[in-house]
Amino acid sequence: MTTDIRKDALNAYLSKGIHDVKGWCVPQLWQTIWPVYKAIGDGPVAEIGVFEGKFLIGLCKTFGTGPDNKAAAIDLFDMQEFNLDGAGVGKLEVVRNNLDGHGIGRDNVTYVKADSLTLRTREADQFVAENGLCKFFSVDGCHEVVHTVNDIEFAMKVTANDGLIAVDDYANPNWPGVQEAVARMYILRDFPFIPLAVTCNKLLLCSYSYHAKYLELIHSYIRTNHPSTHMKFVTRFGYRTLTVQPDFRTWSDLQ
């Protein structure tokens, strides 16, 4: 699929279809994702905590999920005794039906029912052997500190060096465990993936190797194509990052 056809399909989802799926991500998030995708190209995507598939569908449409490029949906699903923070309940059949309805076939997604605290090095190695290294990994599971740290570290193990990791609810005061988890991680030690940008309630991480390149790509793309979006360079945990604040009152297609 050419980039233009992919972009048209993604714009159609972001302008209309995304509003038909329950969840908490917004179309303007792609102002930051899209310019980096154009540099990364297609590849596997994964999400811990899929709820009803709203964000995962958008990621699949962005990164070309198909028979030879599968996505992974990791969730407790019916194991709700491990839903310790009472966050959104992922419903397997609802997720499958939503992905089906938006053109993401069931054979193109691997569904993993698991408590994410069981995901360790052995599971990471198995994941990469079966799916390949992710180009985008979304962390949106249990928002308690221990879970968030574990999920981010698992994501780092299975994400390609040129890939992105998104940590949801970083800016949400109702889920302080997420911000505390990130602070504990980056104050106490160094990691190969470092803060890149905060936008639309998510913290994006990328590898140190691509950090300067991706900052420039995002800043240049938004400045050119979405002039109503406010951007500011700020330092987070010693790293130069962007705060991106779109105008949520309007939507303009990705370019």
pLDDT in tens, 105-119: 889 999 998 888 888
Query: Which tops the pLDDT comparison, 82 or 210?
Result: 210
Name the CATH code of domain 3-25+41-209 (choices 3.40.50.970, 3.40.50.150, 3.30.750.210, 3.20.20.70).
Answer: 3.40.50.150
As a whole number, mean pLDDT of residues 79-107 equals 74
| Residue 90 pLDDT | 58
Name the DSSP class of 228. Answer: T
Asked whether the predicted pLDDT for residue 8 surpasses 50, the reply is: yes
Please name which of 231, 236, 210 lies closest in space to residue 220, comparing C-alpha atoms: 231
* C-alpha to C-alpha distances, 14 to 72, 88, 93, 101, 135, nearest whole angstrom: 21, 22, 22, 15, 20
CA diameter of the chain: 48
Asked whether the predicted pLDDT for residue 154 surpasses 70, the reply is: yes
Is the separation of the CB atoms in 63 and 109 below 8 Å? no
Phi, psi of 189 (to 5 degrees): -160, 175
83 confidence band (pLDDT: 50, 70, 90): very low
Q: Would you say the C-alpha torsion 20, 25, 31, 36 has a positive or negative sign?
A: negative
85 confidence band (pLDDT: 50, 70, 90): low
What kind and span of H or E run contains 216?
A: helix 211-225
pLDDT in tens, 16-30: 999 999 998 999 999
pTM summary value: 0.94
As a whole number, mean pLDDT of residues 197-209 equals 98
Mean pLDDT, the chain, as a whole number? Answer: 92
| Residue 86 pLDDT | 52
| Residue 87 pLDDT | 61
As a whole number, mean pLDDT of residues 166-194 equals 96
| Residue 115 pLDDT | 85
Cβ atoms within 10 Å, residue 47: 27
Q: Would you say the C-alpha torsion 247, 54, 143, 164 has a positive or negative sign?
A: negative
| Residue 106 pLDDT | 86
